[in-house]
């Protein structure tokens, strides 16, 4: 039996709907043995997550998911095994989330222009951490108010590029995000590469530059990938000599997200990220 590791998920500290300790309990209930909470651009949930994990008998890796702008797209870089007291990483995350408030107000104005009023206040009602208002919170408001049937529909109709509520944003650079993670003792991992709308050349540039900056991992098995994408990004891991990660990207029990700890194991022949990170794992 291979290790049931789930190294990507969210709590109310970013855009999940469960508190860190409740995500921990759910992960444990679904058989997770090694867990990381990876909230967007924020580590305020790390102590609660770690303490709950260890009390439940789960090993823990500290984590975060950093928003990066690369080649006109938003790319997510997961940091695993980071030191949660690292000052430079904390400052980098604070800077990365800094523009969210202004962006949220602009999103609200854009939605008002197509007849949807009160979106900023509505989204705020769903926010667990006022520093981290995200598109997901707007999506929950639009579902609650009956504009759309579910969260994916809101993204399709309103919150993605070319749609009326989309506001482009400049996140961290790839170089900065990787450097913050590596200097905090962690491993940088490209999150869900199958989700980005890159040409083959752009994707090649992403992985080449990521490696050149010191990145060492790629998510192969994630809730955002199809089964063919598991094989495709297993090839990428081999081609770029990257360690492989596995994570559900769980956000909520109610929105059809992949369940914690439920994905298939990593394809054979890849080296999992938790091997080189063994010295960063907090043991239950």
Task: Name residues whose C-beta falls within 8 Å of residue 1's C-beta, 6 or more positions apart in sequence.
Answer: none
Residue 59 vs 100, nearer CB to ligand AMP: 100
Which residues 189-228 are close enough to bind ligand AMP by CB under 6 A?
Answer: none
Nearest distance in Å: CB 248, Mn ion? 9
Site size with ligand AMP, rule: CB under 6 A: 10
Q: Is 162 exposed, middle or buried (0-12, 13-18, 19+ CB in 10 A)?
A: exposed
CA–CA gap between residue 230 and residue 193 (Å, rounded):
10
Nearest distance in Å: CB 169, ligand AMP? 7
Nearest distance in Å: CB 2, ligand AMP? 27
Which residues 105-144 are close enough to bind ligand AMP by CB under 6 A?
Answer: 134-136
Nearest distance in Å: CB 180, Mn ion? 17
Q: Are 68 and 38 in contact (CB under 8 A)?
A: no
The reply on whether position 49 binds ligand AMP by CB under 6 A is: no
Choose which of 23, 41, 249, 263 interacts with Mn ion (CB under 5 A). 249
- Contact partner, 12, from ligand AMP, Mn ion, none, Cβ < 5-8 Å per class: none
Q: Is 222 exposed, middle or buried (0-12, 13-18, 19+ CB in 10 A)?
A: buried
DSSP state string for 269-281: TPPBTTTTTGGGP
Choose which of 32, 60, 62, 76 interacts with Mn ion (CB under 5 A). 76
Nearest distance in Å: CB 56, ligand AMP? 25
DSSP state string for 4-30: -EE--B--TTTT-SS-HHHHHHHHHHT
Which one, of 133, 102, 134, 108, lies nearest residue 120 by Cα?
A: 108
Q: Which string of x and - marks every residue 137-176 that binds ligand AMP (by CB under 6 A)?
A: --------------xx--x---------------------
> Which residue's beta carbon is nearest to the bound ligand AMP?
134
Residue 28 vs 40, nearer CB to ligand AMP: 40
Nearest distance in Å: CB 1, ligand AMP? 30
> Number of helices (H) and strands (E), helices first, in the chain?
10, 8
The reply on whether position 219 binds Mn ion by CB under 5 A is: no
DSSP state string for 183-243: HTT-EEEE--GGGS---HHHHHHHHHHHHHTT--EEEEEETTS-HHHHHHHHHHHHHTT-E
Which residues 10-69 are close enough to bind Mn ion by CB under 5 A?
Answer: 15, 65
Residue 42 vs 59, nearer CB to ligand AMP: 42
Choose which of 8, 126, 216, 251 interacts with ligand AMP (CB under 6 A). 251
Which residues 166-205 are close enough to bind Mn ion by CB under 5 A?
Answer: 191
Compute CA distances 217 → 105, 174, 191, 205, 271, whole Å. 35, 14, 9, 15, 10
List residues binding ligand AMP (CB under 6 A): 15, 40, 67, 134-136, 151-152, 155, 251
List residues binding Mn ion (CB under 5 A): 15, 65, 76, 191, 249
């Amino acid at each position: 039996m291979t290790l049931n590791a789930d190294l990507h998920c969210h709590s109310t500290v970013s855009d999940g709907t469960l508190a860190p300790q409740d995500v921990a309990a759910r992960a444990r209930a679904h058989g997770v043995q090694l867990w990381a909470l990876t909230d967007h651009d924020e580590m305020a949930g790390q102590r609660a997550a770690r303490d709950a994990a260890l009390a439940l008998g789960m090993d823990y890796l500290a984590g975060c998911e950093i928003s990066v702008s690369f080649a006109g797209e938003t790319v997510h870089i997961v940091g695993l095994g980071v030191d949660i007291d690292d000052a430079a990483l904390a400052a980098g995350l604070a800077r990365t989330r800094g523009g969210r408030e202004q962006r949220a107000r602009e999103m609200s104005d854009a939605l008002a222009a197509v007849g949807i009023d009160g979106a900023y206040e509505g989204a705020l009602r769903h926010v667990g951490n006022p520093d981290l208002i995200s598109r997901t919170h707007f999506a929950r408001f639009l579902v609650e108010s009956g504009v759309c049937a579910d969260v994916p529909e809101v993204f399709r109709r309103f919150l993605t590029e070319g749609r009326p509520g989309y506001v482009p944003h400049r996140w961290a650079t790839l170089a900065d995000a990787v450097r913050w993670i590596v200097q905090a003792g962690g491993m940088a991992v490209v999150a869900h590469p199958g989700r980005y709308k890159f040409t083959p050349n752009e994707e090649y540039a992403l992985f080449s530059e990521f490696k050149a900056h010191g990145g060492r991992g790629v998510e192969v098995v994630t809730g955002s990938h199809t089964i063919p994408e598991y094989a495709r990004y297993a090839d990428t891991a081999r081609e770029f000599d990257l360690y492989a990660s596995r994570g559900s990207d769980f956000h909520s029990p109610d929105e059809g997200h992949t369940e914690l700890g439920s994905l298939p194991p990593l394809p054979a022949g890849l080296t999992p990220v938790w091997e080189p990170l063994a010295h960063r794992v907090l043991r239950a």
